[in-house]
Amino acid sequence: MSFDSLGLSQPILRAVESLGYTTASPIQEKAIPAVIEGRDVMAAAQTGTGKTAGFTLPLLENLSKGSKPRANHVRSLVLTPTRELAAQIQDSVVKYGANLPLTSHVVFGGVKINPQMQNLRKGCDVLVATPGRLLDLYNQNAVKFSQLEILVLDEADRMLDMGFYRDIKRILDLLPKKRQNLLFSATFSNEIRDLARGLVNNPVEVSVNPPNSTTNLVEQSVYVADKGQKPAILAKLIEQNNWQQVLVFSKTKHGANRLARFLEERDISALPIHGNKSQGARTKALEGFKTGKIRVLVATDIAARGLDIPQLPQVVNFDLPHVSEDYVHRIGRTGRAGETGKAYSLVCADEAKELFSIERLIGKLIERHELEGFKPVNEVPESRLDTRPIKPNKPKKAKTGHQDGQRSGGNSSGNKPANKNKRHSIKPGAGRSPSGSKEGNASSAPSRPSRRPRRTAKPTGPKS
């Protein structure tokens, strides 16, 4: 279906055409008309199916017919879990609204809050935000919601996974009761439906894919390997196949740093991207990857959702994720918008449990391969597809010091959170650490000797 049959005005259609889009995706066909009609919408679709345009285009259409925002007021709010996704949604708003007299801003943690406060002084039509930073701005009276017309929760399931449930509830209590609500998620889990009960009113439900399905446009394969072989195998795959752009997922931040250094030593340009990097470093790495200056972007799961890299040809799971659903979101970075892609996973014997869980989730066995010259010493057990139903996970409790949507405080300048458990020197005679715990610093406050010596247990074995 073409975009001009969905009820969009000419300024928006011209912007869509200038970006090279001609045909709407299934999620866009179903969601856009419902949003334009003013209906609440619950939409579920796997990653890479055009969800962002599915709410951005009709959002701009509806806002183009209203009044201008007052100082510090916003007319629509888009909540999203991560900085990268927030920045990309803002980019879409700017591109699709290029021919409209609308204003938009994006706010998230990890950067200074004062410039964001200044940007909001004149108000804006669209505000894209992560939950924690939005609450910070509200508490400082920098943002007001009495003019709010539309609320969008994007990647709602991911926000629950990251522990934003309480923050979302606080934000909902601040908003006008009369508003249009749009909830976009990868799945309609029980937790999402529980959240939706207090949010949407008689919604139009749109679902274009079964839960946790992987797109047929992504070819999946496993390379069995010993853990220590993985860096060399990855380098060989990159060189042997002449990959010029590959997104690699690492389980840990330190692992991402080590792998990027290893590839650089092999003359393969690579940069890591994760939560300990400043926002400037993350933006620079992503931009370098998109423009082709960097061949390999090594990411933790902070980048599993929301990274929109056009025509990304392949994704590699250097480590399998602990949570099976994250595999679906990782490989969803390729095979987007009708393009084909490939997903490779390097799997060692210790990851057999994770592999079996992933295969159970997606409902099929993944084809295995062995790279010549890298026969593993420790074999990965053969898979047997488990077809039992999977019980849904409970939403996580809110975390303090979370990396995205984070509070301002010590993180407002983009530095990594301070280690709250870090010990400081203690003055002589002090019996407590600065945090108030009873544990002292072993080097400066020696512990008191016990009142009586411990008894030594008598040997019970036979005498020699």
Which of the 8 DSSP states describes residue 47? Answer: T
Cα–Cα dist 464/414, whole Å: 66
Give me the amino acid identity at 269: S
Please state, for a pLDDT cut of 70, what percent of the chain lies above it.
Answer: 78
- For 145, the 3-state DSSP assignment is coil
Task: Please write the tens of the pLDDT for every residue from 310-334.
Answer: 678 899 999 999 888 888 878 877 7
Task: Please write the tens of the pLDDT for every residue from 348-388.
Answer: 999 999 999 999 988 899 999 999 999 999 999 998 887 67
Residue 277 token pair: 């990097």
- Statement: residue 422 has pLDDT above 50: no
- Statement: residue 336 has pLDDT above 90: no
- Statement: residue 88 has pLDDT above 80: yes
Q: How many CA atoms lie within 13 A of 307 on its CB side?
A: 32
Cα–Cα dist 460/464, whole Å: 12
Q: What is the dihedral of CA 120, 122, 124, 128, to 10 degrees?
A: -10
- Statement: residue 337 has pLDDT above 80: no
* Element housing 118 (H / E): helix 114-119
CB 133 within 8 A of CB 81: no
Residue that is written with structure tokens 């979370």 in the block:
402
What pLDDT shows up at residue 305?
Answer: 58
What pLDDT shows up at residue 25?
Answer: 87
- CA separation, residue 291 to residues 85, 270, 310 (Å): 18, 13, 11
Task: Please write the tens of the pLDDT for every residue from 176-221.
Answer: 999 999 998 877 777 788 888 878 889 999 887 555 455 567 899 9
Measured distance between the N- and C-terminal CA atoms of the chain, rounded to whole angstroms: 89
- Statement: residue 167 has pLDDT above 90: yes
Prediction pTM value = 0.63
128 closest CA partner among 55, 187, 200? 55
Residue 412 token pair: 């407002």
Give me the amino acid identity at 328: V
Mean pLDDT of the chain: 82
Extended strands (E) in 234-377? 246-249, 270-273, 296-299, 314-317, 341-347, 367-369
* Element housing 75 (H / E): strand 74-79
Q: Which of 114-123, 320-329, 418-427, 452-461 has the lowest mean pLDDT?
A: 418-427
